[in-house]
Structure 1
């Protein structure tokens, strides 16, 4: 896809977006947003009647399996979050079955802030991420979302070349067993630094603050450990294995509750780590596009090996 194609909105979708705008409003600029894996993201600048502008975000799933289900879940989550303290986009419109657009699409408000994937300042951001995830897990929706799903099995794990074979074999054995019992929580299911927006220079200079959490298509119901494990794996691959353990500690320091037994906590962390073995290339590409050019697929594989090995070597 060329830059022009990435920026341009398809004709049917453009007409659909136009019908969602107020009287006298029109699209004056489109910009491709990078960093996602499954969806095309575009920022739309809208001119308003008072000669000002406002921004919307268009999310489009092109040839993505189960897109209708994902957009229905995201739309439902955004509607729920509108009445909470969790900073999330507001839903404007959704066309999950592509009845009006070329592909399943969702239109939402644009949030201030940006994703931050740099090593610098990570120590200050970890507690903010942890407190935000605790707030997500505290939500008690009237209607529960679907139960979480995990697709990785012991047979689908892809052991990286040169990995610690004994550690990976032991890790794979961990997920051969049944999932531990858990107390259900409202899960984001893809909570990680790439889906969290930060204001890095607030007026009071008190340090970074979170301005938004995005990508709610995976919303589900399950163990808090699963969301914590997912963010931990992302942090371990972005910044080094030790940061995975640090995030779990920060989550509990922020008031979150994880599984009581060490074996149960290990199960969820190992399961999520092994899941990344199947999608290293897909995960690492947007990180490089965001400026982390050193995170080649091979470099991420090596960090994943180190992280899984650390999990299996950590007593208790």
Structure 2
């Protein structure tokens, strides 16, 4: 039995098809990322998976339970962390957790014990009796995650969980999610942060205009576009604007040039040839290379290439 099974899932709004017959599976304990441009169908898909929106066609099962036919048993197995924290500001952290536990039908002693555990994990114990209206955004996100986890669900649905967080809060939250995944919790994550997905996810599904464009492990997605290998470097000049981009674009095996702050990125399918040519160029122009790195394709490169290929296929007659 899979944690999540989706077959031909479809959603129409009038004549507009927001999600178009998508099919995929998520294994138990898997950290699954769901990515796509704005308006691609990510949120609509998550709403159907969690029973917040009825599908027009197809099926979605949670731990073997059809979310449309048996929502009660399906919902027992998951927790949801929406993009906007769903907490009550005039209640304390403790009372929010007690309320969430009561919604899941937990006995008072069980939810009290679980709430204490979660407050400790999320470093919120000292704020237990404080009203949420005084919490920072990072604290709110941690409390929202605690509420979703109060009943120890098999699956967590996360919609942009680190959106708007400061760096320290974001890092802490990702550490917690990684630990949860290692302990066997299945996580379904939607995010705009590609690096976040690259670090956390076992596999990634990419949706574009309602259709599933690709599903695979991040490294396998990257390997589909080897031409996106690159050499990133900087010269010892005060400003890189003094370096003609046309000179760099003319180097052997360079397919394109991108300026990144005080550095340049040269895309190529032959990094070693580009690096050799670059050193020759620097020597001939009395320049010194102060940093240089050869990089494989990033998840961002793969994401953009897959979306572009999907768009091109759609335009084919």
Common fold, TM-score beyond 0.5? no
The higher radius of gyration belongs to: 2
Q: Which has the higher strand share?
A: 2
Q: TM-score range by the shorter chain?
A: under 0.3
TM-score (structure 1 length as normaliser): 0.24
Question: Given the two structures, how large is their TM-score scaled by the length of structure 2?
Answer: 0.24
